[in-house]
């Protein structure tokens, strides 16, 4: 799960990590009052969307270039906020459609002398959390990692020990910090690691972490992602979810434990297992079609979930055909069949559907579909299923 | 011989009284697996409808029934406690089917695993089966398998069945099939399983199924290039997948140039592995370089 920058900054603050003063605005009506109460005049206005590359993005209406703007007065800030809220911001991560800005974050600008990049995440090969710190922060961090890997310092964290003071001290001496700065960085990183563990984060990124003019560390911008599987034990984090930022069909799918991702094509897919779902999409493309979605109904889907899944994929107005590919294990073909029948009858399904069943209760599944009266083409195997649906949708 | 399991393997099912646990224990028993115990805390002393004795802990099942392997169906928030219990009971093999275990829970248990004699298959996997040994420890449909010389290893559940079915339909069969699981943190990797297949005299050829993300396939490819003389074929799912949701910059930095389908396919080709371009041709790719 993803959260906004202002929420991430609040979490850092909660864990005693120094951040610049900031306030979020979601409504133009609140604008005057909030601006009036600010104790500074120069204001950094930052669009809050769940996508990176905001600074280099552009707005569809008026404001032009940049989702992060410096205003030299409250009057200018007022103009910027008014035009940002409700406007659409397009960045390299949003796709061409862009994302509507529903919230902006007003931050006191900070003058700083040095910037760093800090991240904590789990390295799947090492099976351990790693902390990364680069002596060059800023937007080009990926290029830095690629071209000057020596500037990127990596600490592998033993889960039983946690991040240790000696690891941090060694890092601090490599990047030539003073004793005071080392102490400050140590406090900061220990708190950051605590946040990572306590809240089951999958990623924390501070970019940039700066040394301000008075020589203190300050987290200017941050990004935090959470492990979806751990959300059941973090009701406080679940409350931070911003549904407006997510595809409504994907949100609905998640409620029913379905893994759904909307795509641009016109052939809807309903498959069990992420690997088989990807393979089915690969084959649809191979035969000249375009998948309308990725949908993995998961390991233990029941009839009710299948009905939901079916209704969700049918909400996409572009679809011209459906392919169902089930290789039953825990999932039983007859349960899938009954779920399909329920949904198809409720929605008066009129587009072609190709079904490929194999595995647990395959015979029972086919019987359910056969006796339903639905117009269904059965496929013998994976390739046949993909090929048939592509031809039916031509 | 098969790898990891055989007809002597004695299995305890953790979470045997749950819905999935009950259904799949029965399927395994029908296939011939020696499921000799179940564990559900609080239900110790009872007996399942299929006559399997239930214990309160894994340790009790070891003492009473000589269990050496576990099959876990425990819900995600409790699964790691169950895996830990199996490690503490010094089981040889732990197969965890459970989907949705928090990543940091898996990080913690990985450390315990490294300091133990136990091997973990999964989580979020279909399990392991050796048709010739009548041993099925998992949720795969039994009828698609046939005893034979092909070792299959895969990150995906249902795509494993696909690979198995293709091999069976061509009149061949499997020595052992291992679904290693699709999570970020798993127990045995492609590399671990391929090493065992390479050493197993009954496995004559290997079929490996991978997915985009991580670098498990690249590591396996490097080993195959150096050490594996047996024919190997591979399929990588996700060539058509649009760039997924990126984990900020850091995800890209950690995986570096690894993780894409192109990177995996290039490494495998370089190792002399036969590539199936599409998933319906996995067995075809294998039998283009292996025949018996």
Residue B142 lies in a domain: yes
User: Worst-scoring range by mean pLDDT, A194-198, A312-316, A369-373, B212-216?
Assistant: B212-216
Whether residues B105 and B188 fall in one domain: no
* Residue that is last in its domain, among B95, B121, B147: B121
Whether residues B91 and B137 fall in one domain: no
Give the model's pLDDT for residue A213: 92
**Domain of B46, in residue numbers:** 10-121
Whether residues B116 and B217 fall in one domain: no
Mean pLDDT across B201-222: 93
Residue B205 near residue B150 (C-beta atoms within 8 A): yes
> What span, in angstroms and rounded, lies between the C-alpha atoms of A317 and A303?
24
- The three-point CA angle B245-A126-B97 to 5° equals 70
Question: A289: alpha, beta or left, given left = phi > 0 and alpha = psi -120 to 50?
Answer: beta
Average pLDDT of chain A to the nearest whole number: 91
Q: Which of B107, B159, B214 lies nearest to residue A275, judging by beta carbons? A: B159
Contact B254/A282, CB-based, under 8 Å?
no
Mean pLDDT across B70-91: 97
Whether residues B105 and B131 fall in one domain: no
Residue B87 lies in a domain: yes
User: What's the pTM value of the predicted model, to 2 decimals?
Assistant: 0.91
3-state secondary structure of A286: helix
- Residue A59 pLDDT greater than 80, yes or no: yes
Q: Does domain A21-107 have CATH number 3.30.1490.20?
A: yes
For the annotated catalytic residues of B, the residue numbers are 249
- Residue B246 pLDDT greater than 50, yes or no: no
Taking CA atoms, what residue in A is nearest to B189? A125
Contact B248/A203, CB-based, under 8 Å?
yes
Whether residues B101 and B165 fall in one domain: no
User: Worst-scoring range by mean pLDDT, A34-48, A245-259, B221-235, B271-285?
Assistant: A245-259
Contact B156/A275, CB-based, under 8 Å?
yes
Whether residues B132 and B20 fall in one domain: no
Please give, rounded to a whole number of angstroms, the shortest distance from the CA of A299 to a CA of chain B: 7
Tokens of A291: 């998948």
Q: Hey, what's the torsion of the CAs at A233, A236, A237, A243, to 10 degrees?
A: 120
CA A153 to chain CA centroid, Å, is 26
Residue A55 near residue A66 (C-beta atoms within 8 A): yes
Contact B214/A141, CB-based, under 8 Å?
no
- Residue A94 pLDDT greater than 60, yes or no: yes
Please give, rounded to a whole number of angstroms, the shortest distance from the CA of B190 to a CA of chain A: 12
Complex ipTM value: 0.89
Residue B5 lies in a domain: no
**CATH for B164:** 3.40.50.261
Whether residues B81 and B163 fall in one domain: no
HEC string for A17-79: CCCCCEEEECCHHHHHHHHHHCCCCCEEEEEECCCCCCCCCEECCCCCECCEEEECCHHHHHH
**CATH for B109:** 3.40.50.720
- Residue B244 pLDDT greater than 60, yes or no: no
Q: What percent of chain A has pLDDT over 70?
A: 99
CA A63 to chain CA centroid, Å, is 26
> What span, in angstroms and rounded, lies between the C-alpha atoms of B14 and B55?
10
User: Worst-scoring range by mean pLDDT, A15-29, A40-54, A82-96, A168-182?
Assistant: A82-96
Whether residues B140 and B229 fall in one domain: yes
Give the model's pLDDT for residue A334: 92
Using pLDDT thresholds of 50, 70 and 90, give the confidence band for residue B257: low
For the annotated catalytic residues of A, the residue numbers are 117, 205
Average pLDDT of chain B to the nearest whole number: 92
How are the residues of chain B apportioned to helix, strand and coil, as percentages rounded to the nearest 5? 40, 20, 40
In the beta sheet, which residues pair with residue A69? A45
Q: Which of A128, A159, A276 lies nearest to residue B158, judging by beta carbons? A: A276
Q: Which of B20, B108, B162 lies nearest to residue A159, judging by beta carbons? A: B108
Contact A272/B161, CB-based, under 8 Å?
no
CATH of domain A247-392: 3.40.50.261
> What span, in angstroms and rounded, lies between the C-alpha atoms of A245 and A50?
6
Every domain of chain A and the residues it spans: 21-107, 112-237, 247-392
Residue B230 lies in a domain: yes
Contact A124/B214, CB-based, under 8 Å?
yes
How far the first Cα of chain B sits from its last, in Å, is: 18
CA A92 to chain CA centroid, Å, is 14
Q: Which residues of B touch A300 (CB under 8 A)?
A: 20, 99
Give the model's pLDDT for residue B185: 92
Tens digits of per-residue pLDDT, A143-160?
A: 777 788 888 899 999 999
Whether residues B117 and B246 fall in one domain: no
Which residues, 6 or more positions from A207, have their beta carbon under 8 angstroms from its beta carbon? Answer: A117, A118, A119, A137, A138, A139, A141, A221, A222, A223, B249
How many domains is chain B partitioned into structurally?
A: 2
- The three-point CA angle B143-B144-B148 to 5° equals 105
**Residue A18: phi, psi to the nearest 5?**
-65, 125
> What span, in angstroms and rounded, lies between the C-alpha atoms of B162 and A171?
49
Whether residues B203 and B110 fall in one domain: no
Q: Which residues of A touch B242 (CB under 8 A)?
A: 263
Whether residues B221 and B147 fall in one domain: yes
Q: What percent of chain B has pLDDT over 70?
A: 93
Q: Which of B209, B242, B248 lies nearest to residue A223, judging by beta carbons? A: B248
CA A170 to chain CA centroid, Å, is 33
Residues shown for chain A: 394
Give the model's pLDDT for residue B247: 47
* Residue that is last in its domain, among B52, B86, B121: B121
Which residues, 6 or more positions from B140, have their beta carbon under 8 angstroms from its beta carbon? Answer: A329, B126, B127, B129, B157, B160, B161, B164, B177, B179
Taking CA atoms, what residue in B is nearest to A51? B248
- The more confidently predicted of residues A347 and A115 is A115
Please give, rounded to a whole number of angstroms, the shortest distance from the CA of B127 to a CA of chain A: 11
Please give, rounded to a whole number of angstroms, the shortest distance from the CA of A46 to a CA of chain B: 18
> What span, in angstroms and rounded, lies between the C-alpha atoms of A293 and A313?
8
Contact B157/A360, CB-based, under 8 Å?
no
Residue B27 lies in a domain: yes
* Residue that is last in its domain, among B99, B121, B143: B121
Give the model's pLDDT for residue A108: 95
Tens digits of per-residue pLDDT, B163-182?
A: 999 999 999 999 999 999 98
Whether residues B136 and B96 fall in one domain: no
Query: Buried b vs exposed e over A1-19: b needs ≥16 C-beta within 10 Å?
Result: bbbbbbbbbbbbeebebbb
- Give the CATH fold of the A112-237 domain: D-amino Acid Aminotransferase; Chain A, domain 1 (3.30.470)
Give the model's pLDDT for residue B245: 46
Residue B59 lies in a domain: yes
Using pLDDT thresholds of 50, 70 and 90, give the confidence band for residue A77: very high
């Amino acid at each position: 799960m993803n959260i906004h920058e202002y929420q991430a900054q609040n979490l850092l603050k909660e864990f005693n990590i120094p951040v610049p003063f900031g306030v979020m605005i979601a409504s133009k009506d609140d604008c005057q009052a909030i601006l009036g109460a600010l104790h500074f005049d120069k204001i950094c206005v930052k669009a809050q969307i769940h996508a990176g590359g905001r600074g280099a993005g552009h707005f569809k209406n008026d404001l032009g270039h940049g989702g992060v703007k410096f205003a030299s007065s409250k009057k200018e800030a007022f103009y910027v906020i008014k035009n940002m809220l409700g406007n659409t911001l397009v960045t390299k991560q949003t796709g061409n459609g862009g994302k509507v800005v529903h919230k902006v974050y007003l931050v006191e600008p900070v003058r700083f002398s040095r910037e760093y990049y800090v991240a904590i995440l789990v390295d799947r090969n090492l099976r351990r959390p790693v902390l990364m710190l680069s002596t060059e922060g800023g937007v080009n961090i990926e290029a830095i990692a690629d071209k000057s890997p020596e500037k990127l310092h990596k600490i592998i964290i033993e889960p039983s020990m946690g991040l240790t003071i000696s690891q941090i001290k060694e890092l601090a001496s490599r990047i030539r910090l003073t004793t005071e700065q080392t102490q400050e960085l140590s406090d900061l990183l220990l708190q950051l690691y605590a946040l990572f563990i306590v809240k089951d984060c999958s990623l924390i990124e501070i970019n940039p972490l700066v040394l301000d003019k008075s020589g203190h560390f300050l987290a200017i911008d941050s990004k935090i992602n959470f492990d979806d599987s751990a959300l059941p034990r973090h009701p406080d984090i679940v409350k931070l979810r911003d549904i407006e930022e997510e595809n409504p069909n994907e949100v609905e799918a998640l409620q029913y434990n379905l893994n759904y991702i909307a795509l641009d094509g016109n052939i809807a897919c309903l498959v069990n297992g992420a690997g088989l779902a990807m393979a089915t999409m690969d084959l649809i493309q191979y035969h000249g079609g375009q998948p309308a979605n990725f949908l993995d109904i998961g390991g233990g889907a029941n009839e009710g979930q299948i009905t939901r899944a079916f209704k969700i994929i049918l909400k996409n107005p572009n679809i011209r055909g459906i392919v169902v590919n089930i290789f039953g294990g825990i999932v039983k073909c007859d349960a899938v069949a009954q779920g399909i029948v329920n949904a198809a009858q409720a929605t008066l399904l009129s587009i072609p559907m190709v079904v490929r069943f194999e595995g647990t209760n395959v015979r029972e599944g086919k019987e359910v579909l056969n006796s339903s009266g639905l117009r269904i083409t059965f496929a013998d195997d994976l390739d046949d299923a993909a090929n048939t649906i592509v031809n039916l949708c031509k | 011989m098969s790898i990891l399991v055989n007809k002597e393997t004695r299995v305890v099912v953790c979470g045997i009284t749950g819905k999935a646990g009950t259904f799949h224990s029965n399927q395994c028993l029908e296939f011939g697996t020696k499921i000799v115990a179940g564990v559900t805390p609080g239900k110790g002393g009872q007996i399942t409808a299929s006559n399997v004795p239930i214990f309160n802990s894994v340790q009790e099942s070891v003492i009473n029934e000589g269990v050496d392997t576990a099959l876990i169906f425990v819900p995600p928030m409790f699964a790691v406690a169950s895996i830990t219990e199996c490690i503490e009971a010094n089981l040889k093999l732990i197969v965890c089917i459970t989907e949705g275990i928090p990543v940091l829970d898996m990080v913690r248990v990985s450390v315990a695993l490294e300091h133990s004699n136990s091997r973990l298959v999964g989580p979020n996997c279909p399990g392991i089966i050796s048709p010739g040994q009548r041993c099925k420890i998992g949720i795969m449909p039994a009828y698609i398998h046939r005893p034979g010389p092909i070792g299959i290893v895969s990150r995906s559940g249902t795509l494993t069945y696909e690979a198995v079915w293709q091999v069976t339909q061509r009149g061949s069969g499997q020595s052992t099939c291992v679904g290693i699981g699709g999570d970020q943190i798993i127990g045995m990797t492609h590399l671990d399983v391929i090493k065992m297949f390479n050493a197993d005299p009954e496995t004559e050829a290997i079929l490996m199924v991978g997915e985009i993300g991580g670098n498990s396939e690249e590591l396996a490819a490097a080993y195959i290039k150096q050490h594996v003389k047996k024919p190997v074929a591979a399929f990588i799912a996700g060539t058509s997948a649009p760039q997924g949701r990126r984990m900020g910059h850091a995800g890209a930095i950690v995986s570096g140039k690894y993780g894409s389908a192109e990177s995996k396919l290039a490494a495998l080709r370089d190792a002399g592995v036969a590539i199936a371009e599409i998933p319906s041709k996995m067995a075809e790719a294998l039998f283009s370089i292996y025949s018996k």
